[in-house]
Every structure is written in structure tokens, then in C-alpha cells.
Structure 1
């Protein structure tokens, strides 16, 4: 029976799956790679470490006899992270700057003050923020000695993670990206579907230094068996959040998904027509039912599962993320503790790169259980604030949300999310919708299905809201008041 290999290159690790034609996961491999924090506010990846994780997981999957019937590969990835690569060899010339990195915050503040935000919003659907790739490229060209001169000689290409992986696996030296990843660069006109000369000139980037842009479902080349042990076509690449939207089958207008990954991401499918902008939300490109380009609204939060990682790696109060549910459930509430999540600034709806994290409301009675519960509440409250904004500002009726991502396996967190949102939470039995979306794209390209809404769907578990509207509003107001104390512009 034919199947698909999906590569999901996330922020902290790479997952590789083999899925059969019913989209059942038959083989799974995972490898973490290092995060580098050279100074406060800076987050980097080394390309060779990321690609080694791709190689290791792909080799493990293709060596399994169950994966012998694979007919194509789909790739999904963390989106705004960017590398400067040598065009002729594929070698990264410097560490990649990760989407969480804030080194360009001062320049972004200056550009906003100069009034550039309206043009950026009109052309790209985004806001001026260190989050996006274009400001990182601008920094690289200024700070890495000789890089601009090499770029001007045609020797450099700036690659997001999808482009880096495709080039690595194919060795074809044909640098390609897809429209969903391109739409996160701050350089791409989402209506004209091309890199915008005005925005490129603003950030000092020649469009020729950027990859060719294809629709998500496209032929991105064939893997080199000498590099990865298999010769298969790569028939789709897509940014991770758009991939999760597709993987959840959210291809009808208004369909909504919420991903719990390193960050949290709320996406609403908007189809062929660009939606009216909603304050605090981004307008971005996604995939429709056949793998072509569509529009979506997005609320992007920087600290989701990363809060749990901080509890483990930063504070050392848990040994494993799986401990959080039982520990948080051991207390009836957070004891008044609020964990403000601005560790890398705040995304939607504040877009405040200068915000900072804080633990508020501590008493002598505070225990690690209260702190852990406060972390889970912070994840759920951030999402609840976005959903309330979508209702009040966007006029959207959000009665239910399909969820995915590693933290979605936490039952207590899902119940909190239902309570704080006042919406039903629908959790598939398989929560890895990001990789599933990449598999759907590649399967469409391989002819396994005609449309994404014909793809088999997993069973759903439902979490019903229990808080009444009055208590929910009180909790949300208290969250906003607490968060306001950590904003740089408050």
C-alpha cells in the first residue's frame, strides 16, 4: 500500500513519520538538536546540527521495512528562522537566526516610528517585528563581514528551513521555497505572490538573493540516495502552522485550528479572498484543499510549550514535560500566581518585542505545583485572549477549536483551554497535525487523494467548557491586568 514520508523540522527537534494511505502513522523517528543562546535575546541554530537531525530521523524511517512503499516526501518547518547559505555548495555561512530571536528589536522600533508599518501591513499582511526573516537578513548583511559583497557577486542565498532541507536532501542547487514560508519573510507581497522590490530595497536585499517561490503542492526535486538512502520526489513544502491547518482538514472558510507547539498559533482559513485585517492578527498565506495558495488569519504566540521547557531546563522544577498535568492538578488553582510569558517579547495581540517574563503574585505559600499550574494557565490564557479578540474585533463565531501539537496531549490544559475560551475543544487521537499536513500535501501531489477534504480524518475527543461567562470574563480581565505590568510600552 502506498504511503508518504513527512519531515517536520520544528524549533527544538525533527520528527520524521511514515504514514500509510489512510494516514495512519506506521513508523516514527525523532531527534532533538541544540539551541544556542549566544547572548540575551539571541537564539541561533547551527545548520549542520539541524540537518544531522533530519538525516538521522529520515534514515531511521526509510530503513524500516514498513516504509518501503513510500512514494513521496512532504516537508514542514519552523518558518521565520533564516540562514545565509553559499549558493554553490549549500553550506551555511553563519548560524541561523531563529524566529524567537530579538536582536533586531531596536531597528524594528525605529522603523515603526518612521511610519513604515502601513506599507508592510498592506503588502505582506504582517507587522514590523523581529519575529520575521527580513529583519534578520538585514542584520546578517550588515554584521557578517564580507557577506554583502559575496551576495552581490551572486554567491549567497538566504534560506528558510524548508529551503535548507530541500537543498540538503536533493543537492540540486535549485533553491526553492513555497508561498507559505515566503509570506513570513516581511519581503513577500501576498497579493502579487512575489518578493516586493520596495520592501526588498528597504531592507537592503536583492530579490535575486532569495529562493524561487512555488505553491505548497509542487515538485521540489528528488532526493539524492547518496545523501539520504532513498530517491523520492519532494512533492510539498509548507510552513508548520499552515501545515497543521491543512492536517486538521481546515480547508473550508472559517475553519479554525489551534496548535500547541513551542509557541501557540491560532489560524483561521479564509480561502481565495484576502480577509479584512483584524487588530493584533496577521494575514498570511496557507494551503487550500488542492495544495494551492489560500489566505488565513493568524494569531501567533511565542511562548507555549516553551514555558514548560523553561520549567524543566531553566528552573529545574520538573524533570519531564509529562509531569506537569499531575503536578498542576494537585492544587485547585494557581494560588494567585500568574506567569507572564514575555520571555522573548510578546506576539499577538501586543507585538511588544520589549516585554519581559515575570512571576507575579508569589507568597510564602507558593509551591512548585502553583508555578506549574500558572504556566499551563498562561498558555491557555494567551489563546483565550486571541479568541476573544477574533470574536469582538473580527466578528468570528468561534464555538469550537480543533487542537494539535505536543502539549495538546495534556488533558488538564485542554480543559483549561475550553474553560477560558468558552468553546469546545476537539482533540484528534493523533495530535501531530503538522506532519500530517505535510503528508497530505505530498499525497495530493502523488495522486493518493484528489482533495484534502477527501483525506481520512481521525476520531475526535471533546472538552466542553465548564466556566460560566461571568467567571471567564473575570479571569480574562485579571490576566490582561497582570500582563500589562510586563509590557515595555505600558
Structure 2
């Protein structure tokens, strides 16, 4: 086959995907494999590094084989990876000291609580309040309400440094290396030559400062994280060497490395300031492009680096709800759903949820509630409650959490929003999409494919190598399958339902002691 082709790899939380894209951005070869998680103790969530590496190699090989493209005709490879899941390994042998500790892992929850309640953090918050009083900088205002979270790498890494003996010894001797999934992949792909991450993955760790674009030395010192274990931070679009010839028979240049949510923004063509996307995958991530400067938040939203390409750095503001696809899988597991595809039909089989509310907090509640000790559950079950009501209440809760995030976003990042672009597995659910449009008052654009992270990694790599000439060309090639228009009357109908749900939510806060 002739032409220019791009291989795009996305290593998500639940799935490894690889697409071979042609110049029209059509995926002509697709392969995927499920990622197996291990739960050795309560609150632990792990992935075996060698098993993950084997699956990555396999899906790359399979996608190229399915496409029928000669590997020598591939222009480049782009990589997207789940954020904030990390591993540490020996500098000389490359042997991991432990499995990946994923972003869903809460083993460090007691540390999170101790630090948030500590005199040190109270002092930092008080200092930030004083600096805000003097400077009126919103960055310091955000610091005055700063709370550490389980999803950040910081205290999970601190836990590992305190509790894994072999790691402690090798840190002391200078033989330890740290990396998130992207760093581990680049280390393996380069045969141990590269120890790198990109700005979007770094900014999600909790100890990289997007305002200064450097590892935050104060945080490293405070939490005992040695700087010599950290990778070099690179642009998202750069020369990352080549995929080994041994893997596919030809050396394919690696030209992009991105965090999955940044890649999702790029794949959704959210290139303009004020563009909004919502990824509804394992969790929900609402992000807005804030242009060329980071913006601080007091509601628990996070300033992140979207991508850096040449002399242009684009920032995003993000809010997250960590339970979305996990809710659907749970509903399947307990028999509420035979298959995820029937959820929309079941929700629409009843006219309302009959006063039933569901609170989605398997991983606590993130912004703007910010309560890690919240619990999950139904409230308001009656003799009239049926399976359709329960499924509808679950799907409504997914939308209600997005609405919470969107309202917080409106208060802190003031743009004239008109459209939300959605992606991720749950974005295929027409009940969720329509209700999201109704309650936000925005158009909801559903793309032809839900896999924006893999596309974004491919798009950035392709731009870097000249497969596509401009972002405008990519926008022209974007395929929207359906646009959901907001219905004012439905928003009015849901006013009382949403109010009841917010009242129900207060009953589920601070349920757990730790």
C-alpha cells in the first residue's frame, strides 16, 4: 500500500489499543487487548509491568498486520498513556521493584489524611492565604485550599519509598528509577536508553508545577522524593527515537508522547481557547482549553499542561469523577445489566427514576465535593422500584457529576461555552449524552469513534512528521456522528430531581473512617 501512515498507541486503564491511520485519519488497522488488574489487598490496584509490555508489543504487531501496511511505509508512532499510574525499577537491570500502582489505588489514603490534617499543610495553606492577600494572585488563593488526593502520584510514591525495602536500598545507592506508564514504555522501547516523560504526564503527578514548568522542588523535599529518580521532562511532540526493528520489522520513528486526557483533547480537535471535552471512560474527565497560560482553581479543579509542541504550550483546566465505566461494569457484575449496550434502553423504559437516587463514589467524590471518604449507594428504594429505575438512577448519577464539574468550571474559567465534545466508552450511551445536553444547555457532539486518546497521539505525531500540515486540516477531517441538542423543558423537569440528588449526596459523605 502506498501513502503515509501513522501508528497510534493508547495504553489506557482497562485497554491497550493500537490504530493504524491513513492520511484521511481513517483507522485501517485496529487491535486491542484488555489490561488485567490485580487487587492483592483492600484498596490496592496494580498492573504487572512485564505483562503490560507483552500486550503493548502484541497490539502494535497485530494492528500493523491487520492494516496490511508495510512497516517501512509508516511515518511515525504516537503514544498516549494513562496518567499517574507508576512503577519504580533498578537503573542497571531494569527489574521493577513492584507492580504498577495505578491511579485508582488508595493504599496511601491514611497518608493523604495525615498530611491534609497536618500542621505542615495547615501552615502552607495559611502562608498561601497571606500571599494571596498581598498579591491577589489566584494561584495563591488555590494554594490556600490545597488538598492532597489519592489519584496524585505524590503520596502513593511516598508510600512506596517508605515501605518497599529493595526500593529504599536502591534509592540510597542511586540505583532506582521512577516513571509513569509513558516513561516505562519509552524505557522499554528504547532498550533502556531513555528515561523521559512529557509535560502532560508530568503535570498530572502532583509534584510538577505547570506554572513554572519544572519539578516542584518544595514538594520533592517535603515528601521525600529524590530528584535523581525522576525522568527528564520533554515536549509532547519530539524525537523519542524509534520503535525497535525487532518488534515490527522496521524502525518506526516515535514522535509524540502524551497523557491520555491531553491526547483526548487533541484527538477531539479542542485546539481553541474555551473548547470543552468530556471523556467518559473508566472515570469522567471534563477539560477546557485555557490557552497559553495555566489557571488556578479553588474548587478542586486542576491546571494541567495539555501539550507542548515547539514554542507553543497549551494548558487545560480539568475536573474528574473517578467512577463512570466502573459503575456500568459493576451493574453488569451484579446482574442489573446483561450487557452495557442495554443500559440506555432500560433507562428509557421508565419515565423517571421514581425518586431513587444513586451516589457514584467507589473512589470517593472528587471536585467540587472533594470528599474521599464518601460511599456508594442507592437511597429512596420503594416497593415500586424496578430494574429500569435502578439503571436510570446510575446513568443519571454519571450526568449529575458532570454537571457539578461543569458548574464549577463555569465559575472559575469564564468562557462562552456552546458545545461539549464527548468520547470514551460511555459516550456511546444516547441517554447519557442527551441528558448531558439537557442539563448543561450545551450541544453535545458525539464523534464517529469514541477512542479520542489514540487519535490524539496519532494526530500529534503526524503533525510533527508532516503527514498532516496543520490543525485546520485535522479539524476538516473530524467526523461527528450525532449532535444532541439541549431541551429546555427537560432541564426544568430535572430541577427537582437534581435537587433531591444533591440532598441525597450529603447522606453519603464521610462514611468511611479512612
Q: TM-score, normalised by structure 1?
A: 0.94
d(CA) in 2 for partners of 1:453, 1:289: 16
2:500 to 452, 472, 478: 478
* Mapped contact 1:76–1:239 kept (Cα < 8 A): yes
Specify the alignment match of 2:131 in structure 1: none
1:173 to 165, 175, 193: 193
* Mapped contact 1:391–1:397 kept (Cα < 8 A): no
d(CA) in 1 for partners of 2:501, 2:373: 19
Specify the alignment match of 2:31 in structure 1: 29
SS in 2 for 1:233: strand
1:107 to 99, 111, 134: 111
d(CA) in 2 for partners of 1:48, 1:285: 29
What residue ranges of structure 2 are gaps of 5+ in the alignment? 129-138
What residue ranges of structure 1 are gaps of 5+ in the alignment? none
Count the aligned residue pairs.
489
What is the CA distance between 1:274 and its match in structure 2?
A: 2.1
Specify the alignment match of 1:341 in structure 2: 360
1:204-223 superposed matches below 5 A = 204-223=224-243
* Mapped contact 1:290–1:451 kept (Cα < 8 A): no
Shift of the 224–317 alpha-carbon distance from structure 1 to 2, 3 Å rule, reads: same
Specify the alignment match of 1:137 in structure 2: 157
Shift of the 123–104 alpha-carbon distance from structure 1 to 2, 3 Å rule, reads: farther
What is the CA distance between 1:388 and its match in structure 2?
A: 1.7
What is the CA distance between 1:207 and its match in structure 2?
A: 1.2
* Mapped contact 1:187–1:199 kept (Cα < 8 A): yes
SS in 2 for 1:280: coil
SS in 1 for 2:478: coil
Higher alpha-carbon Rg:
2
Specify the alignment match of 1:487 in structure 2: 509
Specify the alignment match of 1:451 in structure 2: 470
d(CA) in 2 for partners of 1:364, 1:394: 44
Shift of the 10–254 alpha-carbon distance from structure 1 to 2, 3 Å rule, reads: same
Shift of the 293–87 alpha-carbon distance from structure 1 to 2, 3 Å rule, reads: farther
Specify the alignment match of 1:72 in structure 2: 76
Cα RMSD of the aligned pairs, angstroms, is 2.3
Specify the alignment match of 2:11 in structure 1: 9
d(CA) in 1 for partners of 2:413, 2:92: 47
* Mapped contact 2:104–2:363 kept (Cα < 8 A): yes
* Mapped contact 1:220–1:235 kept (Cα < 8 A): yes
d(CA) in 2 for partners of 1:373, 1:245: 28
* Mapped contact 1:162–1:237 kept (Cα < 8 A): yes
Encode CA deviations 1:395-434: one digit per residue, 9 max, x unaligned.
Answer: 3433320111111111111112112222211111222111
Encode CA deviations 1:123-147: one digit per residue, 9 max, x unaligned.
Answer: 9988411111121110101111131
Further displaced range: 182-191 or 120-129 = 120-129
Specify the alignment match of 2:22 in structure 1: 20
Encode CA deviations 1:257-283: one digit per residue, 9 max, x unaligned.
Answer: 111110001111011122242523111
d(CA) in 1 for partners of 2:35, 2:450: 22
SS in 1 for 2:160: helix
* Mapped contact 2:321–2:367 kept (Cα < 8 A): yes
What is the CA distance between 1:380 and its match in structure 2?
A: 0.9
Specify the alignment match of 1:373 in structure 2: 392
What is the CA distance between 1:307 and its match in structure 2?
A: 0.7
What is the CA distance between 1:192 and its match in structure 2?
A: 2.0
SS in 2 for 1:284: strand
Further displaced range: 25-34 or 191-200 = 191-200
* Mapped contact 2:463–2:469 kept (Cα < 8 A): yes
d(CA) in 2 for partners of 1:278, 1:229: 51
The alignment status of 1:250 with 2:270, answered yes or no, reads: yes
2:167 to 132, 143, 147: 147
* Mapped contact 1:76–1:162 kept (Cα < 8 A): yes
What is the CA distance between 1:382 and its match in structure 2?
A: 0.5
The alignment status of 1:85 with 2:89, answered yes or no, reads: yes
The alignment status of 1:419 with 2:438, answered yes or no, reads: yes
Encode CA deviations 1:208-229: one digit per residue, 9 max, x unaligned.
Answer: 1011110111112211122454
d(CA) in 2 for partners of 1:166, 1:79: 14
d(CA) in 1 for partners of 2:504, 2:185: 41
What is the CA distance between 1:79 and its match in structure 2?
A: 0.1
What is the CA distance between 1:88 and its match in structure 2?
A: 2.5
d(CA) in 2 for partners of 1:477, 1:172: 54
* Mapped contact 2:292–2:312 kept (Cα < 8 A): no
SS in 1 for 2:194: coil
Shift of the 445–402 alpha-carbon distance from structure 1 to 2, 3 Å rule, reads: same
1:351 to 338, 363, 370: 370
